[in-house]
Chains A and B, each alone.
Chain A
């Protein structure tokens, strides 16, 4: 069996933990030995949210240089978490920004997409940047940006299961009213990854 460590990073309120749970549930349904970790507490108040999914390991934690896949739900947070990636790992990230307060008030600068891309490419064997919010709006709801990212990661073979399994989970675990939008979001993410 292939072991895998997946590191998720995003901003409170983006659905990072929902995406983490969806990946864990899909892995469980596929019969994989999955364990997952999340740190709550400050999540609701605009802080950084980090979580993990591990297949074939017992520990729920990932340290620097250990992640096979880095899933970045926000561009700046992808850059911040890049040190968790093992050399030659895969990065799949949102290319769009949620500026922190210091940037919004003009006290700090936000990194350029191209600079983040260059750094990710230097560290990873593959680094993919997808405009998740734009595609999510196309799918019908900005809230499905997290599913766009999962679709992209799945399409490049970075998740330990295929697209069909992920689609099955969206139908099974999300509220029926949200399933169609999120299936569309998955497909748009996958399309963006392949183009």
Chain B
């Protein structure tokens, strides 16, 4: 038995590695994706004051702190059985969409951009953000930086802090939006929509127009037939802030649609001894190991999953882009991992359109942004769609609102099993007779990037390249060779 370890050393030891086990012929038998990351939030939440949870949980991840802050704040609404005033919900949803847009933009241009805009087979030295700027032009490069900064400044105004927001309180938000803020936000909303539409066009011109990239997107190597999960509104359209959780089967049939309070009936988490990450699966279908298909409970979340479970988008330009994608990829659900990128750009358009709607809503500056709780707390559950998928916070408290127990279902975790499938498939396709094809490294890397496995939530690896190191062992566990992926 031989063993290969791929260690993404940019994040150095201890932050995610791939182990490939070979059979006697030297072909990959199975690959494992290990996440050695644990900080214990579910435990040390115990004893904390409930109102501190929106301050504490964003520290799970500084890249998507708004997602944790919002899931936590909504769990507090539920804990105290209060429905926030309409203006408060709109302020929250506005800040949330601003966050989704800038996070998706960062991913698209900095992380995925190199593979798609510059090209998956371009020289490594050009497959970086500098290469992207060369392709799209310096002006556009600057625009990306400036737009991102403006969006983050909006959220400093709305949420207090952009990294680790503070504005969410049970029953609403901590302060109303001033007329000055609203004016500023409306101006930036127009720019944001132009920017999103520009990005969609860039995706079409630079990515979809190339046959070899389309072929890559639909290639079997990047295809897994799993279940999908995501939030939908009352018309079954994508919504990031609120809605019911919907699951579809690999053949696209509705499997379930439920209120987040029932999540335990649908989601369970499998534990493996060799990694700190847990593998959520659909309870009714069961854990059948790392395989895809109708009989395996493995599902995925994030942009493509959201689009797959929905009937469409709630805004016109995004809807147009949505229809175009499913037409080109011949129907729902789309199982191609690389279509995550496409879905992400469509979601950018939706987020920008929604920002504009909310920015122009006269209710945005309404002063009534809070309802006070009157009921005794016991259980609170909240859900949002994080950039990387469905995020659930569940708290149980004593009658003073002190946390007794907490359970967190984090987006990246839910993709862990499907990521494992991608790694496994890559290994099986590209490791033959003990020889590792360069294709393995690229394929694993490109597959990873599609999921945008979040950093602190999952692997801690940030946008950028992921140089790998491979350790090739013989049957006695003796090191035969070390291969480093060239940059």
Q: Do A and B come from one complex?
A: no
Q: Which residues of A contact B (CB under 8 A)?
A: none
